Structure 1
Amino acid sequence: MLVSLQAGSLIAPAYACGCGAMVVDRNSRVAVDRETSAVGWDGRTEQIVMQLSVRGNAPDAAWIMPVPHRATVELGDAALFSELRAITAPVTEERHYFWPRGKDWPFGGSGNSAGDSAAGPKAGAPVDVVGRERLGPFDVARLAATDPEALESWLAENGFELPDRLATALTPYVEQKWEYVAVRLAPERQGGTLSGTLDPLRLRFASDRMVYPMRLSKLAATPQSLDLYVLADHRMEPRDAIGGRPPKVAYAGRVDPAREPYEALAAVTGDKPVFVTAIDQYFPSPERIDGDHELRAAAGDAPYRTVVYRDALLTWGGMPAWLLTLLGGAVLLVALPLFLVLRARRRRPVVPPPPVFTPPPLR
């Protein structure tokens, strides 16, 4: 199972965001501030619970996600993301330094730190509508496409404007006979604009490997940051960098969601312990992304956790250690000569007084 978090502010008309693409009217703007996706895989079926945080002036938008097989769609549980962030959060440790710095006295401060209802597909059609649901604020269409141009035409007829660059980027998925989930996003308040965190959606589809679609991120106009949180029997790693910088592990460890407890995570894993691996990756040039992320078991299950250090001035009894050291040195400089003088006096040999001459008695 895998969880991804991708942040970025993207430019109209197409918005690449992790495992999907955002499309709006050419006169509108929308920014995807955060995309959080929880993905689970049991060897046969993959599930993705995704949640978008958006802002802009668009009255509506379309979000398109490619999937390798026919998908079912339902509303997801937002609590899952809070639990996963808590599990993989860095720990803070205090690290002391001896000499004062700019914020410490005497230079600065005090030194304290701080279910489906659609009709069946049309045989032989280049684009098949295999499902359409109304889920909360979402209008969800599930498509099967064999021709990228036909996919573009269907989306246009249904209010989704598909830019040429995005149609080209979807071509590899069409060639692999993948399908798509197209979601119409609309603000909850009538007449409003898209803004805030949207309700999560849960997708399920058959898959023979753990894969996270990333090709559409190559359309992004700005560098992309991706965090992958993988839940499996063992520590996991990406097969390759797919055009980004080498992935880095930010967390690795076994978690028992039933003991903590993490109820939303337990519902996903069936109350079974899982190995959590958090992987960070940066894409300075998104146009170089050349594939989807495929994850595999690492060579070992070594645990790891990111540590954030809080630097603090070393003190003894509430006093800066450096100051006490200097005071102690000053006292020593004064006391040492006096001690040496006293010691020298004690060791100096005592000269006996000369004998007193006593004359003999007169006879």
Structure 2
Amino acid sequence: MKFFRILTPLLLAIVAVFCFAPAAWAFCGFYVAKADTKLYNKASQVVIARDGDRTVLTMANDFQGEVKDFAMVVPVPTVLQKEQVSVTEPKIIERLDAFSAPRLVEYFDPDPCAPVYPQKLSAAPAPAARMEAGNARDDASLGVTVEARFNVGEYDIVILSAKESGGLETWLQRSGYKIPRGAKQLLKPYIRSSMKFFVAKVNLNKFEKSGYQFLRPLQISYQSPKFMLPIRLGMINATTEQDLIVYILSPQGQAEITNYRTVKIPSDTNVPLFVKDEFGDFYKSMFQTAYTKENKKVGFLEYAWNMGSCDPCSAEPLTPDELKQAGVFWLDNNSPSDVPVSPRFRPPFPRSDVFISRLHVRYTRDKFPEDLIFQQTANSEFFQGRYVLQHPFQGELKCQAGREYKRSLPKRFEQEAQTLAKLTNWKIQDIRNKMKLSVGNLTYSWWENLFSWLGLY
């Protein structure tokens, strides 16, 4: 049995429940912190909603600088028309980020001397520039064809095809797109694959009239058997590692990367109490350690869950309207996701036909020479990056069970310290010192005994 606490920005309440389910079953705690994309200086975010051969791709813009300098070049498998391109609100991506972010949960040990009354609970399922292109003669001499040209929101869009990369690079630079020199080599594989190029630039007049402070995400829809995400062009002028968060929405189950390994982020571990105040630093260090251990050639699964529920919830599941804004096109009026679901209720079967997979890739040009290729699977196992704070009971312990509980704590605290050191590569001595300060006066004698046993006094 465990006690747990709910923390929200406006509410601090202590809720006591009995949790008899095994550790592999539904969680009985609630989050106290989350590791969202705000942890990273520069993290690109992409949402991919896919069913069959149809894809809706939403690209969040993390562009920093003057909007007049913005240019986006995205390889796409087919020529896009105006009705296949739209803009959406940044809030949708923020909602997906909050819902799927790795989380910290908090439990409180009960009084080991209190009587236990069995309570029957039903089992929960396993958690598993200018847009002037010049004249047609100049375009033809460069081997570039303008397949379509239109405006969507604050963006001017051109769809291009090209016969050779040097000509495409020259065309983009002549037309006022500020792309880095040296793009030729990275454009070449896409041209060999007969892919087209979705090119976007900000229409300054429309942007000023729109009243928006930031560029809105662009969303494109297309039909293609290719389930991939081009990332190589984003490496043109990158000097350091880049973080990419991909939210894949599917009517089936988990999505995974096929041309690189997909591994689960380390999860379901107890960490010392002081991590509550350092969760951002903890997660960044833990991710870097796991990334280095895997030789920097993997994609990490940080979250996999049916959108009809969450446990514990770091944010409410997206509503059907929000899911449609995120590109989910297979919902209809009779979708089970239209049925309200309490965030504390785990139905025995999924209530939504939208499954979200959150994949985190940290990439460089040398470690990720290929674009990401995905596949959908029927694996509906739930998974989340989840880290546990376990508070010791701090009342009087006069019974035999209480004395045994007290004797067990030093070993438990040391195990938490060792786990944290292994996950983060932090120095074990620093961790022990911080743990001693975090437990409070009521447990100081236990820590004094522990540190004496460890030879630290």
Category of TM-score, reference length = shorter chain:
0.5 to 0.7
What is the CA-CA distance between 1:42 and the residue it aligns to? 2.3
Does the CA-based 8 Å contact 2:49-2:56 persist in structure 1? Answer: yes
Q: Which residue is equivalent to 1:46?
A: 55
- 2:151 and 2:157 in contact (8 A); partners too: yes
Q: 1:205 to 1:261 in 2, by over 3 A?
A: closer
After alignment, is 64-73 or 161-170 more displaced? Answer: 161-170
Structure 2 equivalent of residue 322 of structure 1: 443
1:280 to 353, 360, 365: 360
Corresponding residue for 2:299? 247
- Cα distance between partner residues in 2 of 1:139 and 1:81: 22
Please tell me the root mean square deviation across aligned C-alpha atoms, in Å.
3.9
Whole-Å Cα distance in 2 between the matches of residues 52 and 60 of structure 1? 13
Aligned partner of 1:217 among 222, 234, 237 = 234
Q: Is the 8 A contact 2:161 2:195 kept in 1?
A: yes
Q: Does 1:68 align with 2:77?
A: yes
Q: 1:287-336 deviations in whole A, cap 9, x for unaligned?
A: 3322111112357322111213346564228x95536989xxxxxxxxxx
1:264 Cα deviation after fit = 1.6
Identity of aligned residues (%): 20
Alpha-carbon offset, residue 252 of structure 1: 1.1
Call closer, same or farther: CA 1:6–1:138 in 2, change over 3 Å: farther
- The aligned amino acid for 1:291 is E
What is the letter of the counterpart of residue 322 of structure 1? T
Is 1:296 the counterpart of 2:375 in the alignment? Answer: yes
The aligned residue for residue 12 of structure 1 is none
Q: TM-score, normalised by structure 2?
A: 0.52
Do structure 1's residue 306 and structure 2's residue 380 form an aligned pair? no
Query: In structure 2, how many angstroms separate the alpha carbons of the residues matched to 1:132 and 1:7?
Result: 37
What residue number does 1:78 align with? 90
Q: Which residue of 2 aligns with 1:231?
A: 249
Query: Which one has the bigger helix percentage?
Result: 2
* 1:239 to partner: Cα distance: 0.5
Quick check: 1:236–1:296 contact (8 Å CA) kept in 2?
Answer: yes
Establish whether residue 135 from structure 1 lines up as the match of residue 152 from structure 2: yes
- Asked if 2 retains the 8 angstrom alpha-carbon contact of 1:132 and 1:141, the reply is yes
1:291 and 1:6 mapped to 2: Cα distance? 27
Task: Mark the CA change 1:314 to 1:217 in structure 2 (over 3 Å): closer, same or farther.
Answer: farther
Report the TM-score, using the length of structure 1 for normalisation: 0.64
Aligned length: 274
Instruction: Note closer, same or farther for the CA distance 1:323–1:177 as it changes in structure 2 (3 Å cut).
Output: closer
Contact 1:127 1:144 in 2 (8 A): yes
Equivalent position amino acid for 1:241 in 2: Y
Query: Unaligned 5+ residue runs, structure 2?
Result: 1-36, 110-135, 262-294, 310-315, 336-352, 397-439, 448-457
How far does residue 286 in structure 1 lie from its aligned partner after superposition? 2.7
Of Structure 1 and Structure 2, the greater strand share is in 1
The alpha-carbon deviation at position 190 of structure 1 amounts to 8.9
Q: Which runs of 5+ in 1 are unaligned?
A: 10-32, 98-121, 327-363
